[in-house]
Amino acid sequence: MNTHHKTYHPYVSPFDPCVPINIKTYSTPPHLYMGYQPPNLPQFTPAEALRAGTIWKAFYDPYFSQIELAKEGNQV
């Protein structure tokens, strides 16, 4: 199973004026690993799919801001 995020540690100089961000994160959504979509993948129900933006569970990768992630219970 692939992760939908990757992280790296950027160099932090002692002279950087802003508060350093020690871990940077970037998105690696599932379609990057898929190639041709294989047949018979699991599906959402039509009602769920209309909300999710895709009928294929394998492609579902919702993005949340740090503010949203900090608030509990916001994750779909």
Q: How far is the CB of 15 from other proteins (least distance, A)?
A: 27
Residue 13 or 40 having the CB closest to other proteins: 40
Q: How far is the CB of 25 from other proteins (least distance, A)?
A: 10
Residue 16 or 74 having the CB closest to other proteins: 74
The vertex-59 CA angle with 74 and 10, nearest 5°, equals: 70
- Only one of the segments 6-14, 16-24, 40-48, 55-63 lies at the binding site for other proteins (rule: CB under 8 A); that segment is 55-63
- Please name the residue that has the structure tokens 């779909």: 76
The vertex-38 CA angle with 32 and 33, nearest 5°, equals: 15
